[in-house]
Amino acid sequence: MDHFDGSLRQAGIDLHTHSTASDGRLSPAQLVNKALEAGVKLLALTDHDTTDGLKEAQKTARALGIRLVSGVELSVRWNRQSIHVIGLDFDPKGRCLTSGLQRLRRLREQRALEIAEQLERLGITDAVSWTSEKMKSAQITRAHFARLLVQRGCCRTIRQAFRRYLEPGRFAYRACNWPPLTDGLNWINESGGHTVLAHPLRYGLNTSSLIQLLHEFKTVGGDAIEVCSGSASRKEVGLCAGFARRFTLKGSIGSDYHGDTQSGRPLGTPFPFPASIEPVWEVFN
Ligand code: AMP
Ligand code: MN
Ligand code: MN
Ligand code: MN
């Protein structure tokens, strides 16, 4: 059994959050202000496939006295499965990383326009121009389209929008050929950062596939897994801690905050971080 150290190690740490640079609701500055209110002392902004929000977040964090490390949530592919890898505390100017992010931007833009075309067929007649406009300032995800479907009265809730239109097999779903897992890990490693497998239990993998994923993640240079993540229950935290120990991976903590109840937890959610796990943040510069 794990001893849950409810005091120092997990207090005020949130290493998985989103802003308007991707599908979060708050601007980077608003997010950092909110983090201060929530008692967060160590924060990472980890937008989907972009580091565009980091400058503004860093400026605000300095002004408010919060420690902010660079972050990103990369979309990668493993065995035809879409996987999220969090990069932390890297140099945002890293050459491989910036070209990798350009590649991801092109993939996202292409997919977003394909989804928008489907939404036009569903009667949202300005979906393509809406998307083109949105793309100028944010990395577009399916969450943006879910919100659009709700705003335009096509669905009552975000959940319903995903279920009816945006999940695999649905009318407006489009798969994306994300770069391989190894590419994402290399980009972060080459820019001096640390890699975390995000929300390991949210990929719908059976235990043997998950074990295979964790084995490969470790073998190709992965550093940590999100032991405490967004919607994870105490039991799931224990399960992830077990995986971390089995594969000698470090552990991370993140709310996956998006600024609303759409997904993730409140910012800075105090998670019980198992004392037996080595925290990924102890090695930050
Ligand atoms: P994408 O990376 O474009 O496929 O979009 C993934 C994003 O959509 C996630 O980061 C979540 O913010 C959101 N998302 C995915 N599935 C759901 C769901 N069932 N309910 C609410 N949000 C979801
Ligand atoms: Mn998201
Ligand atoms: Mn994710
Ligand atoms: Mn996330």
Per-residue H/E/C for 44-76: ECCCECCCCCHHHHHHHHHHHCCEEECEEEEEE
- Token duo for residue 235: 């039991």
Please determine, for residue 285, whether its predicted confidence score (pLDDT) is greater than 50.
Answer: yes
Q: Indicate which atom in ligand 1 lies nearest the CA of residue 258.
A: 12
Predicted model pTM: 0.96
Q: Which of 68, 285, 61, 60 is nearest to 191 (CA)?
A: 285
Q: Judge contact between 15 and 90, C-beta under 8 A.
A: no
18-28: average pLDDT: 98
> What Rg do the C-alpha atoms of the chain give, in angstroms?
18
Residues with CB under 6 A from ligand 1: 23, 48, 75, 141-143, 158-159, 162, 258, 262-263
Residue of the CA atom closest to atom 3 of ligand 1: 141
Q: Judge contact between 169 and 139, C-beta under 8 A.
A: no
- Tell how far the Cα of 116 is from the centroid of ligand 1, in angstroms: 16
Residues 192-218: tens digit of each pLDDT? 999 999 999 999 999 999 999 999 999
Q: In what helix (H) or strand (E) does residue 29 lie, and over which residues does it extend?
A: helix 28-37
Residue 269 is predicted with a pLDDT of 83
- Tell how far the Cα of 14 is from the centroid of ligand 2, in angstroms: 15
| DSSP letter (8 states) at residue 127 | H
For ligand 1, pick from 47, 72, 109, 142 the residue to mutate: most ligand atoms within 8 Å of CB.
142
Residue 231 is predicted with a pLDDT of 80
- Tell how far the Cα of 140 is from the centroid of ligand 1, in angstroms: 11
CA distance 37 to 35: 5
Q: Judge contact between 66 and 43, C-beta under 8 A.
A: yes
Q: Indicate which atom in ligand 1 lies nearest the CA of residue 143.
A: 8
First to last CA, the chain: 32
For ligand 1, pick from 141, 167, 260 the residue to mutate: most ligand atoms within 8 Å of CB.
141
- Tell how far the Cα of 82 is from the centroid of ligand 3, in angstroms: 10
Residue 262 is predicted with a pLDDT of 63
Q: Judge contact between 220 and 83, C-beta under 8 A.
A: no
Residue 272 is predicted with a pLDDT of 86
Q: Indicate which atom in ligand 1 lies nearest the CA of residue 262.
A: 21
82: which strand partners? 77
Contacts 24+ apart (CB under 8 A), 167-176: 171/118, 171/121, 171/122, 172/115, 172/118, 172/119, 172/122, 172/145, 173/115, 174/111, 174/114, 174/115, 174/118, 176/75, 176/82, 176/107, 176/108, 176/111
- Tell how far the Cα of 86 is from the centroid of ligand 4, in angstroms: 8
Residue 261 is predicted with a pLDDT of 66
- Tell how far the Cα of 72 is from the centroid of ligand 4, in angstroms: 9
- Tell how far the Cα of 20 is from the centroid of ligand 4, in angstroms: 12
What's the distance, CA 254 to chain centroid? 9
Q: Indicate which atom in ligand 1 lies nearest the CA of residue 73.
A: 10
Please determine, for residue 7, whether its predicted confidence score (pLDDT) is greater than 50.
Answer: no
Residue 235 is predicted with a pLDDT of 92
Please determine, for residue 1, whether its predicted confidence score (pLDDT) is greater than 70.
Answer: no
3-state secondary structure (DSSP) of residue 128? helix
Residues 29-62: tens digit of each pLDDT? 999 999 999 999 999 999 999 999 999 999 999 9
What's the distance, CA 100 to chain centroid? 16
Structure-model confidence comparison of residues 4 and 128, the more confident one: 128
Residue 264 gets the label, from left (phi > 0), alpha (psi -120 to 50) or beta, of: left
